[in-house]
Structure 1
Amino acid sequence: MIRSSVRSACNAIRFAQSMRYIAPRRFMATKSVELRDTLQKIYEDTLLPINDKVNGPLEKTTQQIPAMPIVFLLGNHSSGKSTFINYITGQSVQHTGVAPTDDSFTVIVPGQENTTKDGRTLVDDPDFGFGGLQRFGLPFLGHLSMKVRNDINTKDIILVDSPGMIDNPSTGMEKSSSRDRGYDFMGVTKWFAEKADVILFFFDPDKPGTTGETLQALTQALQGQDSKLHIILNKVDQFSKVHDFGRAYGALAWNLAKVIPRKDMPEINTMCVPHNEGMKEPDSPCIPLDDLQHTRQQVVDMVMNAPAARIDNMISKVSDSAQMLLVHSRVVNALKYNVARMARAKWAESILTALFGAAVTAGFWTLGTGVEVTAAMGALSVLGGGGMYAYKDFENKKEMKRITEDDALNHLFHTLYYKEISEGDEFIQSMWRRIFGSTKQMLNTVGLGDCESLKRSELARLEDIVRETVPRLRRETAPLRSGDDRHLPKEESA
């Protein structure tokens, strides 16, 4: 009886704490839907048609923007991800345990009834915006599920729980494969990270950042996601001595320093989560409980404020898409121009060779040379023109292979953006690094022949999105994230 009362009281406290987010979130959700519709129209009317023309780096799907804000949880197995999900939702949504309890990506969404659906159903539903996951194949869809819950505190937010990260069976990160799980685990992780508005990466005292998949995720899947990423050292209530805490914290910082190439380390949030049946606050003999509660509340705030982060992230997503597509298109245009120039030179030199032979043949005919000699010269003229065509075609194929090699592509990019690079524009170079792999793969598989050159008006439309549309949307949505509550609906007085 007492245990039940304690549990009810704790649930009531958490519900009361969550209520302070509801009014702003409802208004934010309305504005977020309006913005999503605007940005989705930009994708459908401009970005995707141009992307199809140039076989660009954007996903070949109209489901570009998920339906709700996404909070993506990563971490080693037994790092407390599932426990944190149960805590923040106020319900027992995920199974918890010391051993790995789930090998799937679980998408947790608010809904009208409690139900569980498979990955294929989630991907096929256009309302959720997860259609892009279909490209990872049926083996992955068998490791994807969706839980719909109608009684959770995280209204208007999608939580994505990932499988606990483990050491790869192969030795060394270089020899490991992203398909050790039967599907492209790092590719899926990168996809969710790009779509997410908040990323929480959990570590626990036993494995402070030492697993192979953890290092791969930080160096590959989470590249460029620094603004969303929050590092959490969880379960610090397990430490009985401050010395043990210091060693674990130092080990985590050391491991992060090896994969994060900058001098300033990201903030490490140290916290713990109630995990017993009564959700009683844990205690740590070496760290004050108030500090743990304060840090945990900060992490909860990050999750609950995901709708506000989504506003910026959606606009940034469109801006990045337009920028990447613009860089890709300019590179394709330049390559198409070079190929067309080589083709014109091939035909011109072949025709000139044939014409020269014809002129020589005509000269022999005029001088009264015998028919046999004149005929032989005519045949040589035709063979000369054909031979020149074959030679230039062979040379052009060699040149085409050369200009699509890594060094040549990088040189072409530096030529196209020499002004920006000379001014130290790191952003445009980061865009090139992001699309280089996909552009290279497109050239090696599909080839330039299946790409169209963009007109100036089409390039101008992409530039207009970057220079006009995105800044305008930033200004229009500024009150939603500035802390100015004058835009919020007023409470009616009783």
Structure 2
Amino acid sequence: MSRWGRKNVKKAPEVIRTVTEGLKSLYRKKLLPLEQYYGFHDFHSPSLEDADFDNKPMVLVVGQYSTGKTTFIKYLLEQDVPGSRIGPEPTTDCFTAIMHGDVEGLIPGNALIVDPNKPFRKLNPFGNTFLNRFQCAQLPNQVLESISIIDTPGILSGAKQRVSRGYDFPAVLRWFAERVDRIILLFDAHKLEISDEFSEAIGALKGNEDKLRVVLNKADMVDTQQLMRVYGALMWSLGKVFGTPEVLRVYIGSFWSEPLMVTDNRKLFELEEEDLFADIQNLPRNAALRKLNDLVKRARLVRVHAHIISYLKQEMPSVFRKDNKKKNLIYQLPVIFSKIQLQHHISPGDFPDCAKMQEQLMAHDFTKFKALKPNLMNMLDELLSSDIAKLMPLLRQEEIEAGVQPGVQGGAFLGTRAGPFVEGDPFGEVANENGEVGEEDEEWVVTKDKPKYDEIFYNLAPNEGKLSGTKAKDWMVSTRLPNSVLGRIWKLSDVDRDGMLDDEEFALASHLIEVKLDGHGLPPELPARLVPPSKRRQKGSDA
């Protein structure tokens, strides 16, 4: 073929099938070259990799020590996390990525950052001190099939915060905040003091307020009047720290599986938990939109960075008095920001933190900065003005398809939707889990306490030998256990799935409540020794 013929062969356009594919392509072709040319990664976050686009939605849990972060995660998963410890002192001293795995285990930080399938490779610059305090806990859990959770070290207060961590804690928080889908900021109803380190940590979350959800935990430990005062004090403190007129959404509750201390606000806690869980459940459906939003935010910051760097390059003298000019330009940076803002019609909200950039510029040689390159800037403008818009129909299609998906499943997300604990449906049915049924001749462990449970059962006035969902719920709620726990107990006890409890099922529910009150966990499925004898025969004949 002639050279003329080759010139006119058109390259087939790239076929984009998903929003994630489209974002990866746009980043590699149009944004990454600009980042590399203007040294964006030396001032802001490292470059993105495929794993940053492909990973599951992540939830970052942040709070002062002993506010219940690890307990909150255990409550969501209804399972202990390998390597975790709970106590009143600062017990979590590591960043722990809690992810799905077929086998339980811990992966140390240095091994994590070389795994191309995990989105943590760019944490390497934080050094060995941090990597020795970073790990991944893998476990087979249904919740983790849809999301991953990042547990953080408890933020210190008082004398404790004077001890250096040995790495830049706010910078690590900022790195995670830019990449996660949701940030849960936990407060303790008894510990509203915002320490200096906590204030710095909250500062590191700035720019990601859209991802932030504030949780006032352990609210069952105060009465209604005290709770109102605590809530007001928290809102005032948050207003001061964030420095914005907008009021953050605060979820009030007690996020653990123990009985409530003060039950006055039980209904409020149930509704707040339902709202928070619904928000977390929707994360997989909104993951593509979050990635698109974050890429647009990054592209706007890259555009501003390019204008700042090229302006500084332009103002530098070619030969003499370079050091004096550099110092003067750094001092004048707020004025330079204003000039760029007016000249290029850029919103002030797109600019980085001025004081932080002044500090970073001290270590750079301005003569090595690059001048403005029009073709790169045109590519960036094209990305923001038209390329992202072309992905919107695909995004809407994915949202429609995701709308029929159930979202995050398993763990505490099942409990509140079981039996009479379904809001407005006292006889709500639960899908059969196809659990294995025990052998007919195996002894039932509840037998020895059944006379005691029968007395309670008949005092509740069953109708035709069965208690309705409403009557059973009223009695179960009196134990003060959270609804998510009682929902799981109902799910395990209503063996025949008829929305009611007979004497054996009620005895089983009572036994499981006592097991839980004694501090033990609940089985994911009903083991053979707990299946009521009559239900074993019934299941056997069905089979």
Deviations 1:182-228 (A, max 9, x none): 2111111111111111011111122024333222222x211111111
Please say if residues 154 and 304 of structure 1, whose CA atoms lie closer than 8 Å, have aligned partners that are also in contact. Answer: no
Alignment pair present for 1:412 and 2:336: yes
| Structure 1 residues 437 and 311, CA gap change in structure 2 (3 angstroms) | farther
Distance change (3 Å), C-alpha of 1:49 and 1:419: closer
Alignment correspondent of 2:377: 459
The question of 1:215 aligning with 2:205 is answered no
SS at match of 1:416: helix
Size of the aligned set, in residue pairs, is 385
- Does 2:264 align with 1:286? yes
Match of 1:433 in 2: 352
The reply to whether residue 226 of structure 1 matches residue 209 of structure 2 is yes
Match of 1:450 among 343, 368, 385: 368
- What CA deviation, in whole Å up to 9, does each residue of 1:322-381 have, x standing for no partner? 211111212222333334xx54xxxxxxxxxxxxxxxxxxxxxxxxxxxxxxxxxxxxxx
CA distance in 2 between partners of 1:116 and 1:256 (Å): 35
Q: Is contact 2:45–2:175 with CA below 8 Å preserved after alignment?
A: no
Is 1:272 the counterpart of 2:262? The answer is: no
Shift of the alpha carbon at 1:295? 0.9
| 2:392 corresponds to | 474
Determine which of 25, 47, 59 is the counterpart of 1:41: 25
Aligned partner of 1:202 in structure 2 is: 186
CA distance in 1, matches of 2:102, 2:233: 44
Change (3 A) 1:208 1:395: closer
Within the candidate set 238, 262, 266, 1:256 is matched to 238
Taking the aligned partners of 2:143 and 2:393, their CA distance within structure 1 comes to 31
CA–CA distance in 2 between the matches of 1:308 and 1:487? 8
* Residue 450 (structure 1) shift: 2.5
* Alpha-carbon contact 1:118-1:142 (below 8 Å) kept: yes
SS of 1:227's partner is helix
Hey, what's the Cα distance between the residues in 1 that align with 2:219 and 2:230? Answer: 9
Deviation of 1:126 after TM superposition, in Å, equals: 1.7
Using the size of structure 2 for normalisation, the TM-score is 0.65
1:326 aligned partner = 303
**For residue 372 of structure 1, what is the aligned residue in structure 2?**
none
Aligned residue for 2:312? 335
1:394 aligns to what?
A: 320
Matches of 2:120 and 2:192, distance apart in 1: 31
Aligned to 1:155: 145
What residue is the counterpart of 2:474 in the other structure? Answer: none
Whole-angstrom distance in 2 between the partners of 1:251 and 1:116 = 39
Alpha carbons of structure 1 residues 33 and 250: separation in structure 2 relative to 1, 3 Å: farther
Aligned to 2:45: 59
**Does 2:102 correspond to 1:112?**
yes
User: Conserved in 1, the CA contact under 8 Å of 2:341 and 2:348?
Assistant: no
What SS is found at the alignment partner of 2:185? strand
Letter in 2 for 1:237: D
Alpha-carbon contact 1:91-1:152 (below 8 Å) kept: no
Task: Kindly indicate whether residue 185 of structure 2 is the aligned counterpart of residue 191 of structure 1.
Answer: no
**Aligned CA distance change for structure 1 residues 154 and 195 (closer, same or farther; 3 Å):** same
1:36: how far off? 3.1
* Superposition deviation, residue 317 in structure 1: 1.9
RCO comparison, higher one (Cα < 8 Å, 6+): 1
Could you say if the C-alpha distance between residues 484 and 74 of structure 1 is closer, same or farther in structure 2, counting changes exceeding 3 Å? closer
How much identity, in percent, do the aligned residues show? 23
Counterpart in the other structure of 2:64: 76
Mapped partners of 1:164, 1:301: distance in 2: 26
Instruction: Check whether the contact 1:80–1:234 (CA below 8 A) recurs between aligned residues.
Output: yes
What corresponds to 2:80 in structure 1?
92
| CA pair 141-262 structure 1, distance change in 2 beyond 3 A | same
What is the correspondence of 1:139-154 to structure 2 with a 5 Å cutoff? 139-154=129-144
**Structure-1 separation of matches of 2:321 and 2:73:** 61
Moved more, 254-263 or 160-169: 254-263
Q: What pairs with 1:15-26 in structure 2 (closer than 5 Å)?
A: none
Structure 1 Cα separation of the partners of residues 323 and 285 of structure 2? 52
Note if contact 1:61-1:131 (Cα within 8 Å) is conserved in structure 2: no
**Partner SS, residue 274 of structure 1:** coil
Work out the CA distance in 2 between the residues paired with 1:485 and 1:266: 27
Residue type of the alignment partner of 1:59: S
Structure 1 residue 92: Cα displacement: 1.5
Question: Structure 2 matches for 1:323-402, cutoff 5 A?
Answer: 323-339=300-316, 342-343=317-318, 393-395=319-321, 398-402=324-328
**Offset from partner CA, 1:302-334 (integer Å, 9 cap, x none):** 222222332222112211222111112122223
Distance 1:337 1:244 in 2: 60
* SS of the residue 1:294 aligns to: helix
CA contact (8 A) 1:51 1:58 kept: no
Distance change >3 Å, CA 188–CA 108, structure 1 → 2: same
Deviation for aligned residue 1:168? 4.8
Q: Point out the structure with the larger helix share.
A: 1
Distance of 2:256 and 2:337 partners within structure 1:
53
Q: For residue 202 of structure 1, what is the amino acid of its counterpart?
A: L
8 Å contact 1:75–1:81 — kept in the other structure? Answer: yes
Q: Tell whether the 8 Å contact from 1:274 to 1:282 is kept in structure 2 after alignment.
A: no
* Structure 1 alignment gaps of length 5 or more: 1-31, 171-175, 344-392, 489-494
| Alpha-carbon distance in 1 for matches of 2:220, 2:359 | 48
CA contact (8 A) 1:63 1:130 kept: no
Counterpart CA distance in 2 for 1:311 and 1:203 is: 30
TM-score, with length taken from structure 1:
0.71
Asked whether the equivalents of residues 71 and 306 of structure 1 are also in contact (C-alpha less than 8 Å), the reply is no
Say if 1:33 and 1:128 are closer, same or farther in 2 by CA, change over 3 A.
farther
Contact 1:71–1:196 (Cα < 8 Å) also in 2? yes
- The yes-or-no answer on 1:316 pairing with 2:293 is yes
Shift, 1:479, TM fit: 4.5
SS at match of 1:433: coil
CA contact (8 A) 2:98 2:148 kept: yes
SS at match of 2:227: helix
Please give the alpha-carbon distance, in whole angstroms, between the structure 2 residues aligned to 1:215 and 1:431: 22
Once the two structures are superposed, what CA deviation does each residue of 1:42-63 show, in whole Å capped at 9, x if it has no partner?
3333322222221124534443
Q: Pick from 136, 141, 159: which aligns with 1:169?
A: 159
What code does the residue aligned with 2:191 have?
K
Residues of 2 paired with 1:273 and 1:334: CA distance?
51
Which one has a bigger Cα radius of gyration?
1
Q: Secondary structure at the match of 1:116?
A: strand
Name the SS for the 1:445 alignment partner. coil
Distance 1:41 1:438 in 2: 31
Partner Cα separation in structure 1 for residue 47 and residue 246 of structure 2: 38
With over 3 angstroms needed to count, the CA separation of the structure-2 counterparts of 1:211 and 1:405, relative to structure 1, is closer
